[in-house]
């Protein structure tokens, strides 16, 4: 508000000028009639008419400038709010985004800000009416107290319905906003690429359309009631204004006949009355506008008041920049963790399936229990284990998407809660299984990691990630647009592009969720090569699904039930004959159905060579590309060659 102080002062000044013009015109009209027309003085009539015309033009100009400034203030405040809310939501933890429905959030950040701004602009305009009303009433009392009293006595008839209608409007505004937000949420969820695909494969379009229509019907219903209420106040006021004008002419006319005052005074009073109802009408909607603004501000501040769960300490220190020394080591010290409860991280009104407050406050079960391990500098630690064991959760703690409930996660001895978020982001690079890309060019998506990267740097990273040749073969090269969420790239291409993005960022710690089933064998080979480059000299934690990666690991952690059950190298763990050995045998036996024995030493770890599909998968998902040890495996025969692109090929979906 401070930033808009000057504009506000100017607006106030313009309001004074406008109000003075409004009250001076009726006095001039009185003079034209009483001193000009009634006294047959053409000079007075002409002169004063010209002054009235001049004032009318000045008034029009004043009002124009007034609306510019009130608009500027309203828009300025909404701009500040919008930007502040965006930055605030950026700071929210992942848990906020996993719970929040995007459509509702976007309606909050867009729709509510817009409504608040509209209401605020109208409010500013009508607040200026207060001065006009005061001056008009003062002048009316000066001209005739009786007629003014009649006018004042009618005021409650205007204000009472205004208050009632305002309350109803507030109620329906809130309902309308919520319903619109939910409608937006359905559209967003059903029509983003993932949702659209799911609906095509599993959905029942007729039922979905019917459900949507029912929801849209509710929006229509609320909209109709809202429109009626918003018109109602104006209709009542227009009616009352007409009735009182008739009354004033009736009473005032007989006063003129009885020589209480002259006709000029009656015309001045009638004109003033006309000028009174305009601002009063505006003032009576002031309340409903104020309420609308309040509702919207309330909804925006509800978001702004949500404290981010992950924050940076004021005295946080920066981790050493990548490349300034050996890669740091990672340490988990007695880490226990449970996902935050709903009430801690999100707002009930932004979730589609609203839980009761008691359910929202209920604690969630512990997912990681007293987990301790060390990933030495520059080494690779593979996390394996059954699905739901806590591998992904553990990796989330390394990039501080969440904080542990007890114990600590350290990078080079620094507790992550004590380091700056910015430096942590520089040090830790993450590649998830289903890497996300913005609906933009490949170039823009890569530059997201390193905005100052040159074209040769971009291509170099792409080459190292085994995707350079493919990109060069595309008609638009780096300027090819990847579809929404990268849907025009194959799974393997996406992971390689994600690796190129990681290489550009050049973090010293890499957290990687290895791709599982959706890769063709060609991609597998390319990915493994790319991985080799990406992980070299970096401290890495990999949720490993391929035996080749697992065998490359300096250390394997078998994570099950939120605990590290076993640790060691592939050979050590096999020899120990525990859970790892069991997983290995069952998975491998499954992969090598065509006769490769459980311990067949034949599969070549892909990380080491250009050839060969995969081995068995530990910890989830079927295997693509069979092991060399026997037969084709689950997903196809072994592959030779480096997985390069076919010349001139196009992206998925391109014609």
Residues that bind ligand ATP (CB under 6 A): 98, 339, 364, 367, 385, 387-393, 619-620
Q: Whole-number minimum distance, CB 620 to ligand ATP, in Å?
A: 5
CB nearer ligand ATP, residue 367 or residue 489: 367
Sheet with 366-375, strands from edge to edge, namely 366-375, 330-338, 406-411, 414-415
Q: How large is the angle between the packed helices 263-304 and 42-90, nearest 10 degrees? A: 10
CB nearer ligand ATP, residue 364 or residue 589: 364
102: Cα separation from own chain's centroid: 7
| Residue carrying the six token digits 């203030």 | 73
CB nearer ligand ATP, residue 36 or residue 616: 616
CB nearer ligand ATP, residue 367 or residue 382: 367
Q: Whole-number minimum distance, CB 593 to ligand ATP, in Å?
A: 23
Assigned token pair, 468 = 């350079």
Q: Whole-number minimum distance, CB 489 to ligand ATP, in Å?
A: 22
Q: Whole-number minimum distance, CB 580 to ligand ATP, in Å?
A: 15
Burial class (CB in 10 A: 0-12, 13-18, 19+), 2: exposed
Q: Whole-number minimum distance, CB 387 to ligand ATP, in Å?
A: 3
Q: Could you tell me which of 552, 557, 627 has the C-alpha nearest to residue 588? A: 627
CB nearer ligand ATP, residue 1 or residue 358: 358
Evaluate whether 116 touches 84 at the Cβ level (below 8 Å): no
Assigned token pair, 168 = 């109803």
φ and ψ at residue 518, rounded to 5 degrees: -85, 15
Q: Collapse the DSSP code of 404 into the 3-class scheme (helix H, G, I; strand E, B; otherwise coil) and give the result.
A: coil
Q: Whole-number minimum distance, CB 437 to ligand ATP, in Å?
A: 21
Q: Whole-number minimum distance, CB 597 to ligand ATP, in Å?
A: 26
| Residue carrying the six token digits 């227009």 | 238
Q: Whole-number minimum distance, CB 385 to ligand ATP, in Å?
A: 6
CB nearer ligand ATP, residue 385 or residue 468: 385
188's CB contacts (< 8 A; 6+ apart) are 101, 102, 103, 106, 195
- Distance, in Å, from the CA atom of 337 to the CA atom of 416, rounded to the nearest integer, reads 15
Q: Whole-number minimum distance, CB 343 to ligand ATP, in Å?
A: 14
- Distance, in Å, from the CA atom of 612 to the CA atom of 628, rounded to the nearest integer, reads 7
User: What are the b/e assignments for 235-256, b being 16+ CB within 10 Å?
Assistant: ebbeebbeebeeebbeebeebb
DSSP characters over 113-149: HHHHHHHHHHHHHHHTHHHHHHHHHHHHHHH-HHHHH
CB nearer ligand ATP, residue 230 or residue 433: 433
The H or E element containing residue 589 is helix 579-591
Q: Whole-number minimum distance, CB 519 to ligand ATP, in Å?
A: 17
CB nearer ligand ATP, residue 338 or residue 602: 338
CB nearer ligand ATP, residue 566 or residue 604: 566
367's CB contacts (< 8 A; 6+ apart) are 337, 338, 339, 390, 393, 562
Angstrom CA distances, 634 to 246, 504, 528, 590, stand at: 91, 34, 19, 9
Angstrom CA distances, 263 to 38, 207, 252, 273, stand at: 9, 71, 9, 15
Q: Whole-number minimum distance, CB 367 to ligand ATP, in Å?
A: 4
Q: Whole-number minimum distance, CB 573 to ligand ATP, in Å?
A: 17
CB nearer ligand ATP, residue 322 or residue 385: 385
- Distance, in Å, from the CA atom of 545 to the CA atom of 566, rounded to the nearest integer, reads 17
Going through 533-618 in order, the beta strands assigned E by DSSP cover: 539-543, 555-560, 563-568
CB nearer ligand ATP, residue 465 or residue 543: 543
List the alpha helices (DSSP H) in 399-520.
421-427, 442-447, 455-464, 468-473, 491-505
Q: Whole-number minimum distance, CB 544 to ligand ATP, in Å?
A: 10
CB nearer ligand ATP, residue 390 or residue 492: 390
Sheet with 539-543, strands from edge to edge, namely 428-431, 509-513, 539-543, 380-384, 555-560, 563-568
CB nearer ligand ATP, residue 405 or residue 628: 405
Q: Could you tell me which of 591, 595, 594, 558 has the C-alpha nearest to residue 574? A: 558
Q: Whole-number minimum distance, CB 514 to ligand ATP, in Å?
A: 11
């Amino acid at each position: 508000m401070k930033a808009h102080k000057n504009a506000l002062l100017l607006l106030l000044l313009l309001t004074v000028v406008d109000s003075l013009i409004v009250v001076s015109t009726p006095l001039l009209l009185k003079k034209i009639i009483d001193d000009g027309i009634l006294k047959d003085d053409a000079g007075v009539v002409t002169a004063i008419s010209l002054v009235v015309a001049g004032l009318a033009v000045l008034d029009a100009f004043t009002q124009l400038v007034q609306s510019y400034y009130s608009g500027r203030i309203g828009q300025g405040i909404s701009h500040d709010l919008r930007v502040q809310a965006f930055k605030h939501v950026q700071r929210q933890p992942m848990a906020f985004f996993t719970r929040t429905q995007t459509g509702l959030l976007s309606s909050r950040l867009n729709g509510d800000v817009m409504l608040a701004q509209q209401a605020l602009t109208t409010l500013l305009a009508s607040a200026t009416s207060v001065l006009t009303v005061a001056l008009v009433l003062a002048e009316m009392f000066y001209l005739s107290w009786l007629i003014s009293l009649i006018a004042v006595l009618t005021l409650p008839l205007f204000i009472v319905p205004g208050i009632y209608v305002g309350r109803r409007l507030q109620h329906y505004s809130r309902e309308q906003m919520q319903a619109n937000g939910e409608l937006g949420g359905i559209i967003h969820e059903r029509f983003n690429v993932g949702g659209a695909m799911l609906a095509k494969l599993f959905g029942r379009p007729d039922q979905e359309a019917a459900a949507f229509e029912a929801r849209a019907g509710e929006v229509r219903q609320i909209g109709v009631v809202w429109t009626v209420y918003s018109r109602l106040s104006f209709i009542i006021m227009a009616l009352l204004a007409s009735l009182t004008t008739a009354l004033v002419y009736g009473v005032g006319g007989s006063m003129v006949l009885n020589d209480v005052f002259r006709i000029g005074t009656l015309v001045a009073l009638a004109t003033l009355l006309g000028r009174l109802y305009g601002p009063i009408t505006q003032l009576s909607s002031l309340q409903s506008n104020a309420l609308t603004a309040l509702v919207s501000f309330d909804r925006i501040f509800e978001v702004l008041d949500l404290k981010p769960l992950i924050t940076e300490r004021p005295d946080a220190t920066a981790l050493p920049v990548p490349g300034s020394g050996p890669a740091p080591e990672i340490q988990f010290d007695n880490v226990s963790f449970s996902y935050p409860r709903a009430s801690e991280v999100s707002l009930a009104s932004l979730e589609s399936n609203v839980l009761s407050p008691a359910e929202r406050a209920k604690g969630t079960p512990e997912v990681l229990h007293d987990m301790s391990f060390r990933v030495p500098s520059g080494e690779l630690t593979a996390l394996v284990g059954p699905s739901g064991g806590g591998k992904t959760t553990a990796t989330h703690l390394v990039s501080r998407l969440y904080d542990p409930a007890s114990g600590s996660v350290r990078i080079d001895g620094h507790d992550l809660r004590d380091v700056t978020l910015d430096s942590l982001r520089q040090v830790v690079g993450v590649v998830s299984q289903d890497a996300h890309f913005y609906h933009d060019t490949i170039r823009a998506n890569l530059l997201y990691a390193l905005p100052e990267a040159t074209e040769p740097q971009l291509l170099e990273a792409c080459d190292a990630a085994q995707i350079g040749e493919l990109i060069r073969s595309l008609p638009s090269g780096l300027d090819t647009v990847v579809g929404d969420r990268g849907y025009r790239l194959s799974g393997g291409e996406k992971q390689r592009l994600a690796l190129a993005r990681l290489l550009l960022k050049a973090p010293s710690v890499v957290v990687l969720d290895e791709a599982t089933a959706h890769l063709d064998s060609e991609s597998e080979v390319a990915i493994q090569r790319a991985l080799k480059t990406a992980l070299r000299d970096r401290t890495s934690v990999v949720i490993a699904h391929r035996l080749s990666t697992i065998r490359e690991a300096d250390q394997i952690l078998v994570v099950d039930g939120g605990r590290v059950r076993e640790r060691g190298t592939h050979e050590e763990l096999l020899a120990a004959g525990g859970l790892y050995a069991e997983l290995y045998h069952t998975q491998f036996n499954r992969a090598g159905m065509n006769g490769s024995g459980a311990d067949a030493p034949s599969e070549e770890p892909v990380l080491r060579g250009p050839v060969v599909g995969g081995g068995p998968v530990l910890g989830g998902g079927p295997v693509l590309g069979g092991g060399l040890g026997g037969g084709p495996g689950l997903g196809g025969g072994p592959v030779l060659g480096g997985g390069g692109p076919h010349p001139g090929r196009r992206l998925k979906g391109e014609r």
